[in-house]
């Protein structure tokens, strides 16, 4: 563009307006005076784009990256299997039964949360582990806030280790065709550094706020599922086979994941309806709606002009510094999944840029309480146990941990 101003056709203003309203909804978590959450905003935005642009239903469907949707759905089924089998809760209880001093206990919980989140969904891991960790802390008269915020941070950081750890990584891996093993090798060092920094801050950082320790709350929240050894083993075997397939083959990962999910659904004990209730349907709708909205917006050429303008001024989104700033900013404005969708078309298909985008947007989720769904899940379930985690309490851990882990990831990716 060589410094020339952006040119926008009059017919594109309606599309840009809908796009702006949709991403305002992503920022606010909904739209004022309406009972719409982010998924509802994305769905209505997609419908508006179809009506405005005249695209056919087939064209709208073609805008959706089906492999991403199928992979996400399959791993929701697998995570539901592990949760219904009581695996997450059983592992957390077992760690809590060890007679460990607080630094060792926090290290053990960080390792468990991170490892589980790398293979299963970080949101589901937080959903299952939070009540157990909260009750464990209250029984031992330990301030529960640091360990609970640490749980959310560990789940977010650990989920960045693989291309199946969280929804935005699945999207990046599918769209950019990243090699699973190559990604993990590059991401492993910044993930491990981030986890060590998290543990160090929990151990030596000024994270306590001096509030009194509350008595444990009894009979609050959903009951934990009983541990089922057979269902757990079945789920772990499927997960292990899928990890091997992803690491050592280049076939369509979404097909392998669907086959794994189908094997788990063939059950004489767990009803299909019970598993399907734990599938995050609103998240799938959010993905599909944003695919259509972003496709219509990209067709206006405005985003490409803006990226070209930046490049003409020496700013490339595929470079570590600019991508870090833009990725972290967008992730905390509109959430990491919409941020990734906005940035993906402008990275030039570079493997290195895909790895950076996954790391930066995932680590950015720890910065603010509203930065990731995992944080909100932990805060909501902790409140049911009588533990209040507000923005200030979260920031005492989340802000320094996010900044340190992002700095570590930036140094690693710039050096690599």
Instruction: Name the token pair of 151.
Output: 């749980």
Q: For residue 322, what are the domain limits?
A: 65-280+303-415
pLDDT tens readout for residues 212-228: 445 544 544 556 677 88
CA angle, 66 as apex, 61 and 69 as ends, to 5°? Answer: 115
Longest dimension (CA), the chain: 68
The answer to whether residue 294 is domain-embedded is: no
CB-CB contact of 201 with 207 (8 Å): yes
Q: Is residue 209 classed exposed, middle or buried when 0-12, 13-18 and 19+ CB atoms within 10 A define those classes?
A: exposed
Alpha-carbon distance of 327 to 321, in angstroms, equals: 10
Mean pLDDT to the nearest integer, 53-71:
91
Most confident of 123-127, 197-201, 244-248: 197-201
Tens-digit pLDDT profile for residues 324-352: 898 898 888 888 888 888 888 888 767 88
Distance, in Å, from the CA atom of 176 to the CA atom of 171, rounded to the nearest integer, reads 8
Q: How far apart are CA 361 and CA 319, in angstroms?
A: 15
Sign of CA dihedral 79, 80, 86, 88: positive
Q: Please check whether residue 76 is in contact with residue 279, taking contact to mean a CB–CB distance below 8 angstroms.
A: yes
- What three-state secondary structure class fits 397? helix
- Structural domain contains residue 54: no
What average pLDDT does range 46-62 have in this prediction? 92
Q: Is residue 47 part of a domain?
A: no
Note the pLDDT tens digit of each residue in 294-307.
899 888 887 777 77
Q: Provide the sign of the torsion angle of the four alpha carbons 21, 18, 290, 307, taken in this order.
A: negative
User: C-alpha 143: how far from its chain's center?
Assistant: 27
- Residue 1 clears pLDDT 50, i.e. is over it: no
Q: What is the mean pLDDT of residues 272-285?
A: 89
Non-local (6+) Cβ contacts of 22 within 8 A are 41, 42, 45, 289, 290, 293
Closest CA to 209 of 394, 404, 374, 375: 394
Residue 182 to residue 186: CA distance in whole angstroms: 6
Residue 340 CA to residue 206 CA, distance in Å, equals: 33
* Within-domain flag for 87: yes
In a domain, 17, yes or no: no
Segment of 221-225, 283-287, 317-321 carrying the highest mean pLDDT? 283-287
Q: For the chain, what is the domain count?
A: 1
Q: How many Å apart are CA 13 and CA 24, to the nearest integer?
A: 16
Q: How confident is the model at residue 6 (pLDDT cuts 50, 70, 90)?
A: low
| Mean model confidence pLDDT for the chain | 86
> In the structure, what pLDDT confidence band is assigned to residue 251 with cuts at 50, 70 and 90?
confident
Per-residue pLDDT, averaged over 23-32, amounts to: 87
Encoding tokens for residue 145? 């806030």
Is 254 contained in some domain?
Answer: yes
Q: 146 Cβ partners below 8 Å, 6+ apart?
A: 106, 202, 207, 208, 397
DSSP string covering 253-301, please? Answer: HHHHHHHHHHHHH--SSS-HHHHHHTS-HHHHHHHHHHHHHHHHHHHTT
Tell whether 153 is covered by a domain: yes
Residues near 58 by Cβ (< 8 Å), separated by ≥ 6?
A: none
Rg (CA), the chain: 21
Question: Number of H helices and number of E strands within the chain?
Answer: 20, 0
In a domain, 38, yes or no: no
Structure tokens at 409: 């990831």
Query: What number of residues does the chain have?
Result: 416
């Amino acid at each position: 563009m060589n410094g020339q101003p952006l040119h926008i056709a009059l017919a594109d203003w309606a599309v840009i307006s809908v796009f702006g309203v949709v991403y305002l909804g992503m920022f606010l978590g909904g739209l004022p005076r309406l009972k719409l959450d982010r998924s509802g905003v994305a769905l209505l935005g997609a419908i508006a784009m179809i009506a405005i642009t005249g695209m056919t239903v087939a064209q709208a469907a073609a805008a959706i990256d089906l492999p991403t949707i199928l992979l996400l759905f399959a791993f929701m089924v697998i995570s539901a299997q592990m949760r219904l089998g009581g695996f997450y809760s059983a592992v957390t209880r077992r760690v809590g039964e060890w007679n460990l001093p607080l630094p060792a206990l926090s290290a053990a919980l960080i390792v468990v949360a991170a490892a589980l989140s790398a293979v299963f969904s970080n949101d589901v891991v937080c959903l299952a582990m939070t009540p157990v960790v909260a009750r464990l802390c209250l029984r031992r008269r330990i301030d529960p806030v640091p360990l609970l915020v640490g749980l959310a941070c560990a789940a977010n950081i650990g989920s960045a280790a693989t291309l199946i750890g969280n929804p935005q990584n699945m999207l990046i891996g599918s769209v950019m065709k990243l090699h699973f093993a190559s990604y993990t090798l590059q991401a492993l060092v910044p993930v491990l550094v981030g986890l060590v920094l998290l543990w160090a801050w929990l151990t030596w950082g000024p994270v306590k706020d001096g509030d009194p320790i509350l008595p444990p709350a009894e009979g609050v929240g959903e009951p934990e599922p009983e541990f089922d050894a057979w269902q757990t083993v079945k789920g772990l075997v499927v997960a292990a086979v899928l990890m091997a397939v992803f690491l050592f083959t280049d076939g369509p990962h979404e097909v392998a994941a669907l086959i794994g999910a189908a094997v788990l659904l063939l059950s004489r004990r767990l009803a299909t309806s019970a598993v399907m209730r734990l599938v995050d349907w609103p998240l799938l709708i959010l993905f599909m709606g944003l695919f259509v909205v972003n496709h219509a917006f990209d067709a206006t050429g405005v985003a490409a002009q803006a990226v070209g303008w930046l490049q003409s001024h020496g700013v490339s989104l595929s470079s570590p510094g600019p991508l870090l700033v833009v990725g972290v900013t967008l992730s905390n404005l509109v959430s990491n999944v919409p941020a990734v969708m906005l940035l993906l078309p402008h990275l030039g298909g570079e493997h290195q840029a895909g790895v950076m985008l996954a790391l930066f947007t995932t680590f950015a989720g720890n910065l603010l309480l509203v930065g990731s769904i995992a944080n909100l899940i932990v805060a909501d379930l902790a409140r049911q146990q009588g533990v209040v985690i507000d923005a200030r309490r979260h920031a005492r851990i989340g802000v320094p941990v996010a900044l340190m882990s992002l700095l570590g990831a930036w140094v690693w990716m710039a050096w690599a």
